[in-house]
Amino acid sequence: MTRLIAAAHRSGFLAWFICLCLLWAMLSAGQGWYLGLPTAFGASVLAAALRLPAPRPGTLLRLPRFMVFFLRTLWHGGWDVARRALSPNLPIAPAWEKYQLQDHYRDHPLYPRLRLLLSAMVGLLPGTLSTHYDEHTLTLHVLDERQDWRVTTLNLEQELARLLEMEP
């Protein structure tokens, strides 16, 4: 029995199952478990079989700090673009730019996930939007090239690395 639980934990099944049950409780207001439990079980088996990365407790502990940072930049990003859209002379200077990722994360096994998350989330930062990425560079559309977009992107990269426990 304990060996079974250990195996369930290793494969990520257990973490998925707990998260999905919580999700079901929220969606159905805690009802209909005869439908919810089998669905959560099946989805967890599938997730473990496909080796999807399981939600990790360590990441959950680091999440609050990241959320504070993220919500702050989201506010800045929305405020920035709203101000530009509503001001009469439309102060924008669009340009294409390249952003090089930091060297010291490259050898980490989670590097691809860092790149993917950065590429997706940079679109919510003030003035930046990613179109695609190569091995180490993101191609960004910048709403105003006079803006200090490189620093905000660098901050996001560092916070993401901290969230994924990639800091050396």
Burial (0-12, 13-18, 19+ Cβ within 10 Å), 30 = exposed
Query: What is the chain's alpha carbon radius of gyration, rounded to the nearest angstrom?
Result: 20
State the nearest-atom distance from the C-beta of 101 to other proteins, in Å. 16
Residue window 6-25: x/- pattern of binding to other proteins, with contact defined by CB under 8 A: -----------------x--
State the nearest-atom distance from the C-beta of 115 to other proteins, in Å. 12
Tokens, residue 98: 């390249």
Q: Which of residues 23-42 bind other proteins (CB under 8 A)?
A: 23, 26-27, 29-30
Place of tokens 């790149």: 115
| Closer residue to other proteins (CB): 65 or 96 | 96
Q: Is 59 in the site for other proteins (CB under 8 A)?
A: no
| Closer residue to other proteins (CB): 53 or 75 | 75
State the nearest-atom distance from the C-beta of 141 to other proteins, in Å. 4
DSSP bridge partners of 97: 140
33 alpha-carbon distance from chain centroid: 30
CA 114/CA 116 separation, integer angstroms = 6
CA 83/CA 87 separation, integer angstroms = 6
Residues of this chain that bind other proteins (CB under 8 A): 23, 26-27, 29-30, 71, 74-75, 77-86, 90, 92, 94-98, 119-121, 123-124, 126-127, 129-132, 139, 141, 143
